[in-house]
C-alpha cells in the first residue's frame, strides 16, 4: 500500500469519526436541522427509524463505523461508499446556504456545503481505489482472455495431432487388409 493511501485514508476519515461520534452522543444538537431531510426520507424508506434523533444517531453510527474502516484500510471501498451515502443527507440538512438571508451566514454555509461536496468527491475516488491491485473487472477480463488463448492452443494441438493419427490409421487399415 502506498504512503499516500496510508496517510490519506485516515485524514479523510477523521471528519466522519468526529462528526459521527458527536451525532451518536448528542443527536438533539442537529435533530432540528435534520428534520427537513429526515422526514421525507423516512416516509419513503420504511426500514429507517421514525424519530429524527434516531435517524441522526444511525447516520452518526454509519459515519463512525465507515470512518474506522476507511482509516484502517479494512473494506475501505464499501466504507467509502457508505460514508458518501451518509454525507448527502448531512450536507442537505446542515448546509442549506440557499435559504440563508444574512450574506455572511450564506457565505459560511456555502463554504461548508462545498467542503462536503469536496469530501464526497474524495470518497467516490476512495470507493473506486483498488489499492494498486487489479480490479475484479480487469481480473475477469484477463482470465477470460487467458482461457480463450488456452482453448485456441488446445484446438491447434488437437488438429496438429489429428492429421498424423488419421494417416497412421489409414496405413494400418491398408496393411491389415
Predicted local distance difference test score (pLDDT) of residue 120: 94
Q: Is this model's pTM higher than 0.85 or not? A: no
Q: What nine digits make up the cell of 136?
A: 475484479
Blockwise average pLDDT, block size 10, the chain, 177 residues: 84 93 92 86 86 91 95 92 92 88 92 94 89 76 91 88 83 81
Q: Where are the domains of the chain?
A: 3-128, 135-177
Predicted local distance difference test score (pLDDT) of residue 36: 85
* CB neighbour class for 33 (10 Å; exposed up to 12, middle 13-18, buried from 19): middle
* CB neighbour class for 12 (10 Å; exposed up to 12, middle 13-18, buried from 19): buried
Amino acid at each position: 500500500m502506498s504512503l499516500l493511501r496510508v496517510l490519506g485514508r485516515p485524514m479523510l476519515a477523521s471528519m466522519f469519526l468526529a462528526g459521527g461520534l458527536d451525532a451518536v452522543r448528542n443527536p438533539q444538537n442537529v435533530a432540528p436541522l435534520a428534520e427537513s431531510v429526515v422526514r421525507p426520507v423516512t416516509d419513503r424508506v420504511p426500514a429507517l427509524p421514525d424519530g429524527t434523533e434516531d435517524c441522526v444517531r444511525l447516520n452518526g453510527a454509519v459515519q463512525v463505523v465507515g470512518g474506522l474502516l476507511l482509516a484502517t484500510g479494512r473494506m475501505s471501498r464499501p466504507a467509502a461508499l457508505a460514508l458518501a451515502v451518509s454525507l448527502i443527507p448531512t450536507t442537505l440538512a446542515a448546509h442549506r446556504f440557499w435559504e440563508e438571508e444574512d450574506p455572511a451566514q450564506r457565505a459560511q454555509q456555502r463554504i461548508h456545503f462545498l467542503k462536503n461536496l469536496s469530501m464526497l468527491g474524495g470518497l467516490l475516488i476512495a470507493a473506486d481505489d483498488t489499492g494498486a491491485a487489479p480490479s475484479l473487472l480487469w481480473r475477469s477480463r484477463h482470465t477470460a482472455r487467458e482461457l480463450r488463448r488456452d482453448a485456441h492452443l488446445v484446438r491447434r494441438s488437437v488438429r496438429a495431432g489429428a492429421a498424423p493419427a488419421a494417416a497412421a490409421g489409414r496405413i494400418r487399415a491398408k496393411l491389415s487388409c
